[in-house]
Amino acid sequence: MPSPLEPEELGSLMAAIGEAGQAARNLGPEPVPVDLTNPERNIPEPMPALEAAHERLGAQFARAVAGRTRRHFAIYPGRIVRARGDELRDLMAPPAVIAVLDVLHSRAQGLLILERNLAEGLLSAGLGLAAGAEALEPGDDQFTHLERLVLRRILSLIERPVFDAYRDITKLGIKVARIESDPRLAEVIDPRDVALMASFTARGELEGSFKLALPFSVLERARQELVRLPPRDIVPPPPTLLTRMRSAVEHVKVQVDVDLGRRPSTMARVAGLRAGDIVALDADENTPLAVRVNGLTKLWGFPTVSDGSLAVEVTALADKLGDPDGIPLGYGPDGGADQPGADLEKQGTSPALPEASMADTNPDESLAMAAMPTAPLAKLDLDDVQVHITVRLGRTTLTIGEVMQMQTGSVIKLDKAAGESLDVLVNGRLIGKGEAVVVGDRFGVRLTSVLEKDDLAGGQ
């Protein structure tokens, strides 16, 4: 007598019978029915740890599928609901596509219920068809044996994400056993048991939703972990939020300063500076200049001219050339360039200055102490207070995005025209203007103007 079942239905039925026999030989625990009226066994709510696990599961599953199929999309978790096993039938009704899941080390089984369009999109991607191409012929709502194998292989990419996502809660492993389109062959969750069902939505080159349903009996042993609040960094922000944050940060403007060089000095030397004096700096024509972003050295480069303005051509990142203090290796206070007699050359003389470490000087401390009311100014001796003279080649304003795109050969145009006087600063305060010169084999500055003492005390 001919079989009343179609060949595909017969094949699925035989596969289900064979796998049921295999499951019966498994030594794992029997599923335990959950009595919803028993407060001791009632499913806890909310379950923040499970919600966090599903965030990771969706992100990892999307990356795995994208890596296999080159279809880029994101998976966003939705609500977690509970439903009795017999209440899942409506969700499994055609045209839904169902993947039956074996829960490892257990006799329990779960379900992956996919919208038809998502299942066909995954199948199309798995077959290597172009995006938008239909895997099935119009009017054909049945998968062939080969198509079931391909879809099963693609859906098996969720196995590792499930294990990793639940690792902090309980040891849970699943295996995609078979693909079904007939809900009668996929009623694997005991009608008396309660399933936890999580919804997921795919957005991007693959669209649709799916539900992961697992019997609560396989999670009940981890009740306390389900309600545990996860660490704050356990849930990554959604990709769209990261994109907006990155875009906002890249448009933030920062101040970029380029120093021609600097020298340690004292308040007595600074107070004696006059127009025409020459200050030798710690940099020479072979030394890259520090490019400071909001006060921190991030780049190194050499001076140049661009469109009639002073500029600097980037040659290296700071972390590849400098030490943590932002001073290039091989020169600076401990690098051999700070030789006595080269600090200040006034009208042809070269008096030696005391050496000072930048780490010992607070940029605002030396000038601010003069205004402290603890004693009359006439009784204070500030001549030996250590300060630093800096000559600024120029400055400009860039966005963080522009700074991050800097590479070797990039040119940063500054606010100074070629030939314009440079700013001379003491501990970050402007004290005068000058022109660049060469003193021996090092850069220097010839002061062309010096601020009056009243302006200097006022922080001009």
pLDDT in tens, 128-173: 887 666 655 555 567 889 999 999 999 999 999 999 998 888 888 9
For residue 169, the model assigns a pLDDT of 84
Confidence of residue 383 (pLDDT cuts 50, 70, 90): confident
Q: What is the DSSP letter of 425?
A: E
Identity of the residue numbered 444? G
Residue 322 pLDDT more than 70?
A: no
What does the buried/exposed string (b/e) look like for 223-235 if buried means 16 or more CB atoms within 10 Å of the residue's CB? bebbeeebeeeeb
Confidence of residue 396 (pLDDT cuts 50, 70, 90): very high
Higher pLDDT, 126 or 140: 126
What whole-number distance in Å separates Cα of residue 112 and Cα of residue 213?
A: 6
Confidence of residue 207 (pLDDT cuts 50, 70, 90): very high
Mean pLDDT in residue range 390-419: 89
For residue 340, the model assigns a pLDDT of 34
Residue 316 pLDDT more than 60?
A: yes
What is the average pLDDT score of the chain?
Answer: 76
208-215 and 194-204 strand pairing: antiparallel
Instruction: Tell me the two tokens of residue 42.
Output: 């009632």
For residue 250, the model assigns a pLDDT of 85
Residue 17 pLDDT more than 80?
A: no
Instruction: Tell me the two tokens of residue 213.
Output: 């349903």
Strand order in the sheet with 109-114: 73-84, 194-204, 208-215, 109-114, 97-103, 174-180
For residue 100, the model assigns a pLDDT of 95
For residue 182, the model assigns a pLDDT of 86
Integer angstrom CA distances of residue 443 from 348, 407, 418: 16, 25, 16
For residue 459, the model assigns a pLDDT of 47
- Considering the chain, what percentage of its residues have pLDDT values greater than 70? 68
Identity of the residue numbered 230? P
For residue 159, the model assigns a pLDDT of 95
Mean pLDDT in residue range 273-278: 89
Residue 346 pLDDT more than 50?
A: no
Q: Find all residues with CB under 8 Å of 59, minimum gap 6, and list them.
A: 74, 75, 236
Mean pLDDT in residue range 332-344: 38
Confidence of residue 37 (pLDDT cuts 50, 70, 90): very low
What whole-number distance in Å separates Cα of residue 101 and Cα of residue 23?
A: 12
pLDDT for 107-124, tens place per residue? Answer: 889 999 999 999 999 999
Residue 181 pLDDT more than 60?
A: yes
Residue 395 pLDDT more than 70?
A: yes
**pTM confidence score:** 0.44
* Complete domains list, the chain, with CATH: 7-236 (3.40.1550.10), 249-457 (2.30.330.10)
362 CB burial (10 A radius; 0-12, 13-18, 19+) = exposed
For residue 295, the model assigns a pLDDT of 85
Of 304, 302, 346, 342, the closest CA to residue 446 belongs to 346
For residue 229, the model assigns a pLDDT of 57
Residue 460 pLDDT more than 50?
A: no
For residue 142, the model assigns a pLDDT of 79
Mean pLDDT in residue range 43-55: 79
pLDDT for 218-257, tens place per residue? Answer: 877 776 666 565 555 555 666 666 677 777 888 899 999 9
What whole-number distance in Å separates Cα of residue 270 and Cα of residue 206?
A: 69
- Lowest mean pLDDT segment, chosen from 186-200, 201-215, 305-319, 366-380: 366-380
Of 20, 22, 10, 3, the closest CA to residue 145 belongs to 10
What whole-number distance in Å separates Cα of residue 372 and Cα of residue 408?
A: 47
